[in-house]
Structure formats: structure tokens, C-alpha cells
Structure 1
Amino acid sequence: MTTHTTFVPASVIKETAGLLTDHYAFPDTAVQLADLLHRRLAEGAYDTDDAAEFARRVTDDLQSANGDQHLSLKYHAEPVPPKQGEAALESIRRDFETSLGGAPRVELLGGGVAVLELAPMLFPLDWTADALSAALGLVSRAQALIIDLRANRGGDPDTVAFVCSHLLDERTHLNTMYWRDGERSEQSWSQPHVPGARFGGSKPLYLLTSGQTFSAAEELAYDLQQLGRADIVGESTRGGAHPRQGWTVHPHLEASIPTGRAINPVSGTNWEGVGVQPDVPCTAADALDRAHVLALARLEA
């Protein structure tokens, strides 16, 4: 369906280019992309009255330099607030309310193996802490655990640390964010204590991934994989490691711009552009059955 809303491409491009040069984690690339946007505008590449199509064209150009999938111009069918970041929050609040707080499935399979699905996002911790505490506390009694991230498209790094805290025995350095200004870094650590019971750091743990697993969900898989805590079963993930912020540049358009980069303390790098590589490659559709078989074999051994 064609979507029409009044907007001025030149105005949106000017504002988006300015945000790029002011905030993008890679300043040199930001200048190149800002020049590209202005050049493409002058060429008529953005001549359309369809805001969704306009957003697709701009996003294609934004991602042309380095394939950064967090860098985009997002179209929202419903008008979004002008305040920075509120566009994304309005969108994900609806998903939160319809997914039991981001833990839509808890199930006990045969042999004492539990499955916990975290989807469609790892929501902000002040929203989801109660739901995740309940779900993680419930599966803490299982003999082995499978966490399903196949439909998870990202979320909050603080929530990643919260989940990891239930799956490790002691406070552990998980990740470090390096910000655009080059003077600030922010370490992420698991918590030494959690509300209620924890699954802990010794029982078998498997994480399921797909080609759609993205962003913070990738961090959860990557952090635990690099620590040797979990086996990843499924497909390579999408490959987005740069934390983003959002700016509303039009009532229906949000500029999503990464403002930093993640560096893992074990690997010294991240999953940007390459994705998290599974320890046990298989199709996403087969991943749950495959992980269950692996868990049963390990428990039997």
C-alpha cells in the first residue's frame, strides 16, 4: 500500500546529514555519507511523495558505505513524538504489552530441559525486570536450558547484562561500549546478585539463533559464547553491534544513528557485519530439536 504524508525531502536530508556528522560513531564515514545524501538529493534520487519509499532509498544510501544495519531512516506509519528516542519507545511499547513482557514462552521439554523464548525484544529493564525475573526464576530449576532468540530483534544492553547475571555464578565483564567522542567508555558487567533463584554457570546452556536475530540479542549470544558459557545453535545472526539513538526528523520518519561501538573483552572485537557464528550450524527451524538432542546427550554423559 502506498503511504502518502506531506514532507520535504530536502529538509529531512539536511537534518539527517547534520545528525550524522554530529553523532555517528565513525566521523570520517559520517562526512562521506552526508556528502552522499546531498549529492543524491541533487540528482533527484529522493523525488517521491511516498514517505516509506523515501525512507527505503535513504537507508540504502546510508548503509552503502559500511553496511551498518543500525544506520537507517525509519518510517513509522503512526506519527511519533518529536523527542529524541521517543519514536522507538512508542513502537516497542505495543510489542511489550502483547508478549508477556518479552518472555512469551516457558516450557519444560523431556529430560528436564527447559525452553525460554525471549522475543520480540529485550525490552528496557525498568519495563521487563519483573517478567524476566519470573521466567528466569522458573527455569532455574531445569537440568539444562535452551534460550530461544530466533525471533529477537534487539533491545537494551542493560537487559542483556540482567539475563547473563542469571546464567553465570559471579560478576563478569561482558562488554565495553566506546562512544563517538573517543573520551568515554562504558563497561557492562553481570550482577553479583539476582532477585530469586538463578540457573547458574555450570548447567548446560544453549542459545538458538536465526538470520533475523539482531543487535542486543546478538550481544547476549556473543557474550555468552565468548565466555564459553553457552553453545549457539542455528543460523548466523544479522550482524549489528553498534548501539544506536533515534531522532525524529519528521512526524513519520526517525533517523537511527549509531553513537558508539561494542568491544568484547575476550575477543577484542564484535559481531558487526559478520554476525554471531553458531557453534552448531543448522536451519533456524531445526535449531530447537537439535539443541534438545544435544542437551539430553550432555546430561546423560
Structure 2
Amino acid sequence: MTNPEIKKGKGLTLFCVLMLANTWLLSAQTVTKQYVDTIVHRLSDQLEAHYPFPEISARYKQKLLARLQEGAYHNLLEEQLAKQLTTDLNAVHKDRHLNIIRDSLAYRAAITPASASPDKQPPEELAYEGNYGFDKVEIDHFLSTAYISVPGPWHAVPEAFAAATAAMNLATGSKHIIIDIRRNGGGSGAMGRYLASYFYATGNDQYYLYGFHKDKSQDEQEWTLPFVPGKTAPDAKLYILTGRNTGSAAEGFAFAMQRLKRGVVIGDTTAGAGIAGSYVPLQCNLMLFLPVKMIVAPHTIKGWEGDGVIPDTATGKQDAWLRTRKIIIQDLLKNEKDEERKEMLTWRLEDFLIGDTRPIDWARYNRLPFQYSEKISIRKKDGLLWYGITEKNKTTNYYQMQEIKPDVLLIKDLLPELGANAARLYINRDTRGNIVAITRKTYLRQENNKIVTGSSLSRSTKQP
């Protein structure tokens, strides 16, 4: 006897497969010759009318019409046509912004009046959910450093500027300010100018960038603002973190501040998207991102299009944030007069060496294992050095040691409640290089950045 439930399930599965197939067919329509002609001519006309470089737009148009005459765009699906058009444009001149995509939702939204799309989530709601491009602000009071994470995108709405103001008001009390735009793909250039304004005194507005259009009457000088809410930071050192995903308006911020010699760019070369633009609907779900404004440094024709922003300090695979902290600590150490602060800064600088694991130099440390007191001992086991603490019940707990630099060793996992890397061993030697004593130091980061130095324990047995 046939199980009716199983039969019903098979029928439902077949129905779902057919529905999926039909959905795919609907999304993979071949573009008719009539629509192909419309798309190519509309694309050519838009480039000719608005692309900021007339000689390049003329070559674009010539290429597109020649390929249309050859029949290169006929009998293609929408997605295939979008890719082929982009490929042909790039063959003439590679513009990282200029491209054609197939996006049915974006196309319908572009050709539908806003009042006719009540169910669509407004852009301002999406911006709100992303906190208008601002992620977090972290303050390190000891280093007088503020870190602002701005993954973007940037928006030019009052709420976005309020978010920027809040972030900057937290940061401007610090002597070093880090703005992280490594994942920021761009958005509104107005936000970059707004942030830049905080790094100049009130009334000292700067010629920031210059944008030129195909229609020269629309060219514009971009200046920082003479006034921004809250406190400014004209004397703070600015570090801008960049990466391969830093694009468009975010690149503009890094480029302008670097050219103005107001900020140091650290990280990787940026995307190289230096022409601003917007999306234009073509036909058949195809959307053109049309670059309309080339952005360059004032009084020059030099921008970052194609080349990207080259960092002042390239970090390669090293984390740009960690590299910047190291630069800041080294900078502070140069001018620090207080010995206690010097010791704490040196400790933090040595933190960067911890990840560099290296084999133990036994020629140097062969005489380090020893019973230094009833409670403290160091032993060698399995090719490693271990720091031992003997408790009252005669049980000895051992902690692995790792060289940070010659005669400074990390005692791993000792006092974890004080944070990572809280305990270190310092070795004292005589003029002949023999070990004469050891000293353990503990960094109480959570208690006013205080380093506690333990008793010096001598190695009394004579060494050869």
C-alpha cells in the first residue's frame, strides 16, 4: 500500500524544484536586440555627457558602438551583458569606479518613486543600524591615545555628523588620535572634511581637495570647516590606518591629510577609487555606476585614482594598529624624563616582542636553572625554561618562560588575574657575563600603571 504522506512530500519537493527553476529563468532573461540598442546608446550618452575626461569618454563611446555593430552584445543574458560591457570599458581605460551590474532590486528602486515603495527600508534606517559608519572609540589614558574605528560607510546627514562629533569630543583630549578606516569603502566626502576640521584651530580652515567635472562650471573647491562643535585638536598627532578596502571618500580623507602634512598614513595602499559618482538605471535590471567628478589635490591634477593612497609607513602583513601603538610608545620614550614612566613605556614596548618566538640560546642561559631560594627555582625541562614557585605544602607550580630580549624573560600565565604578560624575570650579570642574580617584576596595569619590583635573588654558587 502506498504511503500517502510520502507521496505528498515528493509532490511538494517537485513543485519547489519547478518554482526555483522558473525563478532562475525569470532572472536569466536574454536581452532582446531592441533593449541592447537602448542600453548601449544610453550608456554611451551618459558617459559622453558626464564622464570628467572628454577624450576618454569619446573612446568609450567609440568602443561600445563598434562592439554593438559587431553583434558582441546580442543573445546575452542580463548578467552576461553587464559583465561584457564592463570588460569592454576596462579595455579602453580601467576606471575602478566605472562598472555595470545587474541588480533587479536596485533597478526597480531607481525607477520607482519613493512614495510608491512603502515597504522598502529607508537609507536613513540602514545608516542608523550601522551607527552612521562609526564603530567605537577607545581611550588609553596612560599613552594619551584615542582610537576611533570608522568602518563606514560615511553619510552626510545630521545624525551622522552628530555621531562624528560625539566620537571626536571623546578623542580630542588625547595627544595621539588614531582613525581606523581600513574597512571603510567610502560614502560622502563631506564626512571626511568634517573630521579633518577637528585637527585645525577654529577659523583655520584648509583647502582640502578639488573636484572637477565634465562641465567646468560645476567644479568645486572643498575646504575644511572654520568651526565644528566641541573641542578641536590642532596639536594632536593624527595617525590614519588604511588598507586595500579603504576606498573613495575614505581615501580622500587619508589623501588630503597626508598632502596637508597633518596626518601620518599607516597600513597598506588603498583601493585607488578617486572619481566620485552615482548609480544610473539603464534598462533590463542593469545599473551603471557613473563617475562624474575627479578629485585631486589643490592646485594639481594629481589624485589617487588607480594608484591609491601610498602609506607613509607600510606595514605589510603586520597589523597597522599594533604598529601605530609601537610608533607612539617610541615617540613618548624619546621625551620622557620620569624614570617610572620610562620603565612602564619600555615594558609596553617590549610587549611587541613577545610574539617573536625563538629557540632558547642555551649558551646564554645554561647556568640560569638553579634553586634561588626555598620558594623560587628555575629548571630546564623538555628543552624549555620553567619558573617554579614552591607553596607551603611543598607543591611546586611551574610556569614556562620565554625570552623577550636578552636577559628579559616573560613568565607565562603567572598572575593571570592581572592580565596577560604581567610577570617578567630580569637577569643581572657581572662584568664577565656570569649570572649573579634574578629579579621578578610585576606590572599592575589596572592599578595606576604601577610596576612592582620583587627582591633580588642571588645565584651564590660560583660559575666557571
* Fold in common (TM above 0.5): yes
Which amino acid in 2 is paired with 1:41?
L
Q: Equivalent residue of 1:111, what SS?
A: coil
Q: Equivalent residue of 1:218, what SS?
A: helix
Q: 1:102 aligns with which of 128, 133, 138?
A: 133
> For residue 162 of structure 1, what is the aligned residue in structure 2?
194
Give the CA deviation at 1:223. 0.4
> For residue 37 of structure 1, what is the aligned residue in structure 2?
64
Asked if 1 retains the 8 angstrom alpha-carbon contact of 2:209 and 2:221, the reply is yes
Q: Where does 1:1-301 land on structure 2 (aligned, <5 Å)?
A: 3-4=27-28, 7=31, 8-47=35-74, 50-76=77-103, 78-80=105-107, 81-82=109-110, 95-109=126-140, 111-169=143-201, 170-198=204-232, 200-250=233-283, 252-265=285-298, 268-283=301-316, 286-301=319-334
Structure 1 residues 73-128: Cα deviation after superposition (integer angstroms, max 9, x where no partner): 133352443369x9xxx896565233211101222246232211212312224451
Q: Equivalent residue of 2:133, what SS?
A: coil
How far apart in 1 are the matches of 2:82 and 2:124?
Answer: 22
Which amino acid in 2 is paired with 1:39?
A
Q: Equivalent residue of 1:212, what SS?
A: coil
How far apart in 2 are the matches of 1:51 and 1:74?
Answer: 9
Q: Equivalent residue of 2:222, what SS?
A: strand
Give the CA deviation at 1:300. 3.4
Asked if 2 retains the 8 angstrom alpha-carbon contact of 1:99 and 1:119, the reply is no
Range moving further from structure 2, 121-130 or 274-283 = 121-130
Q: Percent identity?
A: 25
**TM-score normalized by the length of structure 1:** 0.88
Give the CA deviation at 1:130. 1.3
Give the CA deviation at 1:140. 1.5
Mark the CA change 1:17 to 1:172 in structure 2 (over 3 Å): closer, same or farther.
Answer: same
Asked if 1 retains the 8 angstrom alpha-carbon contact of 2:50 and 2:213, the reply is no
How far apart in 2 are the matches of 1:57 and 1:120?
Answer: 31
Which amino acid in 1 is paired with 2:155?
F
Asked if 1 retains the 8 angstrom alpha-carbon contact of 2:209 and 2:296, the reply is yes
Give the CA deviation at 1:28. 1.9
Unaligned runs of 5+ in 2: 1-22, 115-120, 335-464
Give the CA deviation at 1:27. 1.5
How far apart in 2 are the matches of 1:94 and 1:151?
Answer: 21
**TM-score normalized by the length of structure 2:** 0.58
Structure 1 residues 244-295: Cα deviation after superposition (integer angstroms, max 9, x where no partner): 1321113633212222222212665111111100000013661111011112
Q: Equivalent residue of 2:110, what SS?
A: coil
Asked if 2 retains the 8 angstrom alpha-carbon contact of 1:148 and 1:209, the reply is yes
Asked if 2 retains the 8 angstrom alpha-carbon contact of 1:226 and 1:266, the reply is no
Q: Equivalent residue of 2:41, what SS?
A: helix
How far apart in 1 are the matches of 2:82 and 2:317?
Answer: 30
Q: Equivalent residue of 2:305, what SS?
A: coil
Mark the CA change 1:111 to 1:282 in structure 2 (over 3 Å): closer, same or farther.
Answer: same
Which amino acid in 1 is paired with 2:40?
I
Higher strand share: 2
Unaligned runs of 5+ in 1: none
Mark the CA change 1:178 to 1:284 in structure 2 (over 3 Å): closer, same or farther.
Answer: farther
Range moving further from structure 2, 43-52 or 136-145 = 43-52
Which amino acid in 1 is paired with 2:162?
D
Structure showing greater Rg: 2
Mark the CA change 1:35 to 1:160 in structure 2 (over 3 Å): closer, same or farther.
Answer: same
Which amino acid in 1 is paired with 2:28?
H
Asked if 2 retains the 8 angstrom alpha-carbon contact of 1:150 and 1:284, the reply is no
How many correspondences in the alignment?
A: 296
> For residue 394 of structure 2, what is the aligned residue in structure 1?
none
How far apart in 2 are the matches of 1:57 and 1:139?
Answer: 48
Give the CA deviation at 1:224. 0.3
Asked if 1 retains the 8 angstrom alpha-carbon contact of 2:132 and 2:152, the reply is no
Give the CA deviation at 1:42. 4.0
Mark the CA change 1:266 to 1:31 in structure 2 (over 3 Å): closer, same or farther.
Answer: closer
